[in-house]
Structure 1
Amino acid sequence: MSKPPLIFAVVVVIIAVLATQRYMQKRRQDAVNDASPVRTLQAEVSAKREFPAPNRRSRQREVIAAEEMRYEVYFRPLSGGAEMMFALPEKTYHDMDKGMRGELSVQGTRFVDFRPDAAK
């Protein structure tokens, strides 16, 4: 039996190192979010977008009825500051409209809640 080529071993090691690095980065961010206090700020829904979630098995661009979707909402703080983007569950996404204002609660970089202002 012949030995596998050296390039194959190098590629496997690089993939393992990159996967481990990404996993550790995610764990650190989760720890920072867990340790952060919940902040509440006045914000406006500045944009919404939904699109098919990346599918590792297929690279097709057409939407299939049972295809998993990704829902993103962009918030602009009313007191100024950088726009924030969060990936949200479908129900929460559909409960919001562009231009809606209210209280946005975040914990670090994690979305907690959005309570729209009462209609006047």
Structure 2
Amino acid sequence: MGKPPLIFFIVLAIIAILATRQFIKQRREVAVNDASPLRVIPVEVKTKREFPASNRRSRQREVIPVEEMRYEAWFHPLNGAGDFKLVLTANDYHQIDKGVKGQLQVKGSRFVSFSPVMQ
């Protein structure tokens, strides 16, 4: 058969470089979040969404009950700053209701907790 074509090695090198770059980016984000101070922000829950973690758009999907889900919520700061999105755990996601105002605790870009304010 002979040697594999040069393009094969180039593709492997590109994949390795991109994977390494993504790993370094994730490690840097974790380090920044760990070093960030805990902030408490008065917010309103703008919207929330859950979707399959494997986000394949090329085919029509049905949700499989054992499929891993991803949860996120958009928050609107009551001080007038721009809306922002945070990734949540399933438990945190189900305890937050759309339109509720409360105190959001974040550490960098990491969700810590949300406490609704009784009106």
Count of residue correspondences: 118
RMSD over aligned CA atoms reads: 1.8
Provide the C-alpha distance between the structure 2 equivalents of 1:113 and 1:85, rounded to a whole number of angstroms: 14
Residue 55 of structure 1, CA deviation: 6.2
Give me the TM-score of the superposition, normalised by structure 1.
0.90
TM-score normalised by the chain length of structure 2: 0.91
Q: Hey, which bits of structure 1, 4+ residues long, moved more than 4 A? A: none
- Residue 26 (structure 1) shift: 0.8
Which whole-Å CA distance do the structure 2 matches of 1:54 and 1:7 have between them? 28
Instruction: Determine helix, strand or coil for the equivalent of 2:114.
Output: strand
Counterpart residue number, 2:78: 78
Identity %: 56
Aligned to 2:101: 101
State the Cα distance separating 1:90 from its structure 2 match. 1.3
- Runs of 5+ in structure 2 lacking a partner? none
CA distance in 1: counterparts of 2:54 and 2:83, whole angstroms: 24
1:67/1:60 CA distance change after superposition, 3 Å: farther
Aligned 1:35-50 pairs, distance under 5 A:
35-50=35-50
Structure 2 CA distance for aligned equivalents of residues 49 and 14 of structure 1: 33
Q: Which runs of 5+ in 1 are unaligned?
A: none
